[in-house]
Structure 1
Amino acid sequence: MDPAIDQALQLLQRTHNRQANLLRRAISQRLQDPRPLVDLGHLLVEAGQGDAAAASFMAGAQRDPNFAPARFGLGQLMERVGHYGDAAICYEEAVRIEPSSDHLFHLARALHLQGQLEDAGRHYQRAIEADPKHVRSMYNLAVLLAGVQQEAAALQLFETIVSIDSNHGQAWCSLGALRRQDGDLDGANQALRRAVALQPKDALSLANLADTLAVQSQLKQARTMAGRALKADPDNIIANLVQARMDREDGNLEQAAARLEGLASRDVGPLNRGRTLVELGMVKDRMKEPEVAFAASCEGQALLAKQPPAAGMDLNAFPNLVEQLTSWTPQALQTPSPPPPDDDLPTPFFLIGFPRSGTTLTEQIITSHTGLDSLDELSILDTIAARTVDLCGGQTPYPQALDSCTPEQLGQLRAQYWDEVRKARDGELPKCQLIDKLPLNLVHVALISRLFPESRLLVALRDPRDCCISAFMQYFVPNEAMIQLYDLRRTAELYQSVMTLWLNSREHLKLPYLETRYEDLVDDLEGTARRMLEFLQVDWEPSVLEYHEQAKKKHISTPSQRDVSRPIFRRSLARWRRYEEPVRELQPLLAPFVSAFGYSDG
């Protein structure tokens, strides 16, 4: 018997005497059989005798060079001790002999751990082809794809995994995180709740759910989940970010700042550093430290702009659309609209403006009236705009495609609008007047006019300088419009283009509209509320003045959720004065609108 094997058996006898004697007999009697040597190797691994185990696996491979388990066992030992290159060589031999899904998976993982991502991905894919339900290969491949910014492919794989194994908690967590990153907050919420149900003490699942709930402005639940995550892992980055926001919302500014500054001093990765700095900017703004606040916001937003999914979005797509709409809309509004079809469908009213212009506050005030209801920031009109292209054969882009729509096709678009409303409201239409609130629906005023010629527009205004500073210093879920807000100058340029469209449109607009200023709501809530309700054709109800009590009971998905759940405060008025130097550079862009909307130059 080989002296190394004899020594290995002696080592094993110390802990597994009976098994060692049986293996000694098998190895001595079955001279051509590698299996006893491989079994010895596995027992030695369990006993912590790595060198002896390696000798046993290699002896097995010598007995039969085409016995895959010997190569595979040695590869597992090499991987276990961190020798991933040697492990990959062993796994390659095992795959050559027997290209099973498990062998391919381990080869892919060894390559993955070495950073050889392209080869790792190829072998994960081979493992899945060998076994279409090989969940471990799917999971690791999905993680790899997400890491190289192929989020759509990763998302699809995670969805496949949970359809095969509905109890795979890590896959549910990863699926939820990707959905959250993709802007599918409801889908993220659902997946992460499932992850937490399966892994109730997993800090990452809890933290991701807390983060999603916070973005959905479900702050009470977010606070609970963040607390559970921090109990499981006090250093969890995401949970600390959520907790910092809760501290800010509760007015614990020093505590929030300390937590965020601690995060900023760590290596948390560019995405989390960006979010940390944007949140720190909001906290320092509340603490009346504008220079620190602005610097943190600038650095944080610049980092977020370079991370997925924002980095993969077309920065010019939305500005280009607004430019097309600006040149097309005035003429389109002068074209007579066909009468509304006799379809018995109601007519929505629209609440529009620029982000951070007070639309959420306005919405909460008017929908405290028993005769008014709202859609909370759903991009239904974007869906309808895309549908106009399909109806015209896909050759003419929006908005020009709208010119080719027949009355019958406009009727189809109206019907689809209400189908989308039903989807958002569990299959039911509202029982009172619907207010469709999404600020940047402002760019679709001609579409609104064509589809709903009996509609009304409530237009929220705010000092343009406050609008831009507030939007820039806020965290938004990225889309082609919101990514403009990562840079202060681009924010002002977007304001200029969107509000130019509005000013050019309103003189041709046949729909009734009412402009309301955020500052007027703050200075004269009752008078402004009376004007709005009269415009919306409902009687006065004093309950609207207690809107903040109603808001506490509602799900509000915007960053203003906490603010509108309190009585009106004045701290956001003339906020721009704390940032006069950066705002001064925007004056050429914003001055015409400061004048047009009746604000003071000084």
Structure 2
Amino acid sequence: PPRRLATLPTAPLRADMPQPVFIFGFPRSGSKLIEQPLTVHPRIAAGDEPLSIGDITQIIPGLLASLLSYPEALAEIWMGDQRDGLEELRDYYLNRARKAGLFQKGAAFFTDKMPLNETHLGLIALLFRQLPVIHMLRHPLDVALSIYANHLRHDYFCASALESIARHYVLKADLMAHYRQVLSLCYLPVRYEEMVASQESEVRKILDFIGIEFDSRCLSFERNTRYVRTASYAQVTEKLYDRSSYRYRTYLKHLTAALNVLCPVIERLGYKINAPEPANSGDAVC
């Protein structure tokens, strides 16, 4: 309930060191299109995909002296002698970032775009409630198609079948919708399709949301020399292109298993389902 959530303690901001910018997005949703332009900016360091939040979930029971596992162990922060536990967890995360070399000279922020971090958004909100959370959205059918084509292995090989990819996507989308409803977040949704169509306006919007001035170098992210250790390593060295927008249309007849599961989320996110050209009936209906 909101009344109970309002009484939860949260860790205060550490103003003496760089802070994370959390970039969320289901695998293959295009979150690199956010991170690459941002990390060209001299005030934002590239954190890529650190494991720190996931690591924190493993140490919570011990640090809070709880017999419960995560997330139930977080109930211990209600106790008077554990109310500083969130500050210790925050500092553990920031110290891991420092040791990883993410505290670069002149940088006020570093990125954290670990896939599926939204699973731990409740914890992130307790540790970094004042900090920006940027969520990349992309047409769910394009996401499902791209995962299937790249044979990703997230969460017990869920990418081995279109239906399991779709069910996994729906679970994460529902979880994100729940967190947005019950938590007070510094949250900005960004659509992949809009980033591709209007790069400068979207980059300006994101930087303004973070609180950093625009830098024109952010529009030439293909010149970013850092090494990318994900399935997007080739795409991010190219100039921005639109050939992956609505790519699902070509394969729509093969995506029935995913479509049957994804229809409610597609509608909720405001997307449509368009048949490939030429088509007689225009927009398909779920």
The answer to whether the superposition gives a TM-score over 0.5 is yes
User: Does the 8 Å contact 2:130/2:185 carry over to 1?
Assistant: yes
Query: How far off is 1:475 after superposition?
Result: 3.6
The reply on whether 1:466 has 2:142 as its aligned counterpart is yes
Is 2:72 aligned against 1:396?
no
Number of the residue aligned with 1:573: 245
CA distance in 2, matches of 1:330, 1:381: 25
Identify the residue that residue 591 of structure 1 maps to in structure 2: 263
392-401 or 450-459, larger mean C-alpha shift: 392-401
Give the AA of the match of 1:402. L
Residues 352 and 459, structure 1, Cα contact 8 Å, conserved in 2: yes
Counterpart of 2:120, as a letter, is H
Alignment deviations for residues 17-41 of structure 1 (CA, whole Å, 9 cap, x no partner): xxxxxxxxxxxxxxxxxxxxxxxxx
User: Which residue is 1:554 aligned to?
Assistant: 226
Q: Say whether the 8 Å CA contact 1:337–1:453 is kept in structure 2.
A: no
Aligned-partner SS, 1:454: coil
Shift of 1:344: 4.0
In structure 2, the CA distance between the partners of 1:541 and 1:345, relative to structure 1 (3 Å rule), is closer
Cα 1:441/1:342, change in 2 over 3 Å? closer
**Matched residue of 2:46: which SS?**
strand
Q: Does 1:370 align with 2:46?
A: no
Quote the residue 1:542 is aligned against: 216
The alignment partner of 2:84 has SS state of helix
Give how far 1:394 is off. 5.3
Verify the 8 A CA contact 1:347 1:454 in the aligned structure 2.
no
> RCO greater where, 1 or 2, for CA within 8 Å and sep 6 or more?
2
Counterparts of 1:345 and 1:370 in 2: how far apart (Å)? 15
Q: Deviations over 1:397-453 (max 9, x none)?
A: 21111221333211111111122213322xx63341112111311111111111112
Secondary structure of the residue that 1:585 maps to in structure 2? helix
> Would the alpha carbon gap of residues 330 and 524 (structure 1) be closer, same or farther in structure 2, given more than 3 Å must change?
farther
In 2: Cα distance, 1:506 partner to 1:407 partner:
24
2:28 aligned to which of 356, 368, 371: 356
Alpha-carbon distance in structure 1 between the residues aligned to 2:251 and 2:12: 48
Instruction: Please name the residue that 1:281 is paired with.
Output: none
User: By how many angstroms is 1:346 displaced?
Assistant: 4.2
TM-aligned CA deviation for residue 341 of structure 1 = 6.8
Are the equivalent residues in 1 in contact too, given 2:163–2:261 (CA < 8 A)?
no
**CA offset digits 1:161-209 (Å, max 9, x no partner):** xxxxxxxxxxxxxxxxxxxxxxxxxxxxxxxxxxxxxxxxxxxxxxxxx
Distance 1:540 1:468, change over 3 A: same
* Aligned-residue offset at 1:577: 1.6
Are 1:338 and 2:10 matched, yes or no? Answer: yes
CA–CA distance in structure 2, aligned partners of residues 536 and 594 of structure 1: 28
Q: 1:331 to 1:560 in 2, by over 3 A?
A: farther
Q: 1:556 to 1:517 in 2, by over 3 A?
A: same
Which residue does 2:280 correspond to in 1?
A: none
SS where residue 389 of structure 1 aligns? helix
Question: What percent of counterpart residues are identical?
Answer: 30
Q: Flag the 1:558–1:520 CA change in 2: closer, same or farther, 3 A.
A: same
Contact 2:222/2:238 (CA < 8 Å) preserved in 1?
yes
| Aligned equivalents of 2:2, 2:21: Cα separation in 1 | 20
1:473 aligned counterpart, secondary structure: helix
1:410 aligned onto 2:86: yes
User: For the residues of structure 1 that align with 2:230 and 2:3, how far apart are their CA atoms?
Assistant: 34
8 Å Cα contact 1:360/1:564 also seen in 2: yes
1:424 corresponds to which residue?
100
Write the letter of the residue equivalent to 1:498.
K
Contact kept? 2:23, 2:31, Cα under 8 Å: yes
Q: In structure 2, which of residues 157, 163, 176 is the aligned counterpart of residue 489 of structure 1? A: 163
Relative to structure 1, the CA distance from residue 333 to residue 577 in structure 2 (aligned partners, 3 Å threshold; closer, same or farther) is farther
- 1:442 equivalent in structure 2: 118
Q: Find the structure with the greater CA-based Rg.
A: 1
Distance in structure 2 (CA, Å) of the matches to 1:398 and 1:482: 20
Decide whether the 8 Å contact of 1:334 with 1:508 is kept in 2.
no
1:71-106 Cα deviation digits (max 9, x unpaired): xxxxxxxxxxxxxxxxxxxxxxxxxxxxxxxxxxxx
Letter in 2 for 1:501: L
Task: Tell me how far apart the structure 1 counterparts of residues 205 and 14 of structure 2 sit (CA, whole Å).
Answer: 31
Shift of 1:356: 0.4
What is the alpha-carbon distance in structure 2 between the residues aligned to residue 530 and residue 582 of structure 1? 38
Output the CA distance in 2 between the equivalents of 1:601 and 1:407. 49
* Aligned AA (1:484): C
Across the aligned residues of Structure 1 and Structure 2, the Cα RMSD in angstroms comes to 2.2
TM-score (norm 2): 0.86
Shift of 1:347: 3.0
Does residue 523 of the first structure (1) align with residue 197 of the second (2)?
Answer: yes
> For residues 342 and 456 of structure 1, what CA distance do their matches in structure 2 show?
14
Find the residue that maps to 2:47 and give its secondary structure: strand
Q: CA deviation at 1:504?
A: 1.3
Aligned-pair CA distance for 1:508: 2.3
- For structure 2, list consecutive stretches of 5 or more residues without a partner in the other structure: 275-286
Q: Does 1:384 align with 2:56?
A: yes
Aligned length: 268
Distance 1:594 1:571, change over 3 A: same
Letter in 2 for 1:487: A
